[in-house]
Amino acid sequence: MNGGSLPRFVAVEGPIGVGKTTLAGLIHREFGHHLLLETVAENPLLPLFYRDRARWAFHIETFFLIDRMEQLEAIRPVLAIRPVVSDYHILKNLIFSQETLTPAQYAKYETLYRIYVRDLPRPDVIIYLEAGLSTLLKRIQARGRPYERDMDPAYLDRIRRRYAAYFADAEKRHPEARIVRLDTERHDFVHDPAAYRFVMETLVAVLAPPSARPGLGGV
């Protein structure tokens, strides 16, 4: 990221249930970014996938890749006039597909991925959220999405570990972006006002110039 310019595109990433959409919404509220949300609930294959991952894995990964690609293409005009925050980075397609696809399927999928993402807008800040498995399971249960009821905890833990491995060297993978790491188990910004202030104060130095820093609200 160019150290002399403010970020135009911020992506929030992390495993299922970690709080990506919530934090993206808070950044939208506090900093005025345009909010881009992935359309997970609109994927008709999710219930089938959680019941039979082997049967539906390639279908669902391809669906998500095309859907996210189209979303990111559509924000180009928005980025020209205001900053954007999204509750995903398209990198998640690689993380999930490595878990769900066979090696032969993944080789084909990765070829498609490299072609599709080559010219897409790239975030200049990536916020990585992390939490333990038990916390993720509680949050998923609390939000009560019907298509997540059949999720295997072992699958969720493998995804969580893949995220941790990916972001262990995220600076090398994404030299164009500033990586911000937040432990949402230690800093529960949804329920703890002190944690909320900590998270917002962490982000304000990255996302806003001194002359335009907002008066931070609360949860």
95 is in an annotated binding site: no
* pTM, full prediction: 0.89
**What share of the chain in percent tops pLDDT 70?**
92
- Rounded mean pLDDT of 90-101? 95
* Per-residue tokens: 90: 């398209």
- Rounded mean pLDDT of 12-26? 96
- Rounded mean pLDDT of 41-55? 79
Catalytic residue among 52, 67, 87, 188: 87
4 is in an annotated binding site: no
pLDDT at residue 3 is higher than 50? no
Q: What's the pLDDT at 41?
A: 62
- Give residue 219's pLDDT band: very low, low, confident or very high (50, 70, 90): very low
Instruction: Return all residues near 124 (Cβ < 8 A) that are at least 6 apart.
Output: 1, 2, 7, 8, 9, 10, 176, 177, 178
15 is in an annotated binding site: yes
Q: CA 159, CA 195: separation in Å to the nearest integer?
A: 25
* Per-residue tokens: 134: 């038990």
Q: What's the pLDDT at 210?
A: 57
CA 66 to the chain's CA centroid: 16
Q: CA 6, CA 37: separation in Å to the nearest integer?
A: 22
CB 37 within 8 A of CB 87: yes
Strand-strand pairing, 9-13 and 125-130: parallel
Q: Look up 87 and say whether it is catalytic.
A: yes
39 is in an annotated binding site: no
Q: In this predicted model, what pLDDT tens digit does every residue of 50-89 receive, in sequence order?
A: 788 889 999 999 999 999 999 999 999 999 999 999 999 9
Mean pLDDT, rounded, of the chain: 89
Query: Which of 2-6, 61-65, 120-124 has the weakest average pLDDT?
Result: 2-6
CB 56 within 8 A of CB 179: no
CB 189 within 8 A of CB 23: yes
140 is in an annotated binding site: yes
* Domains in the chain: ranges and CATH: 10-207 (3.40.50.300)
Query: Which of 2-16, 126-140, 162-176 has the weakest average pLDDT?
Result: 2-16
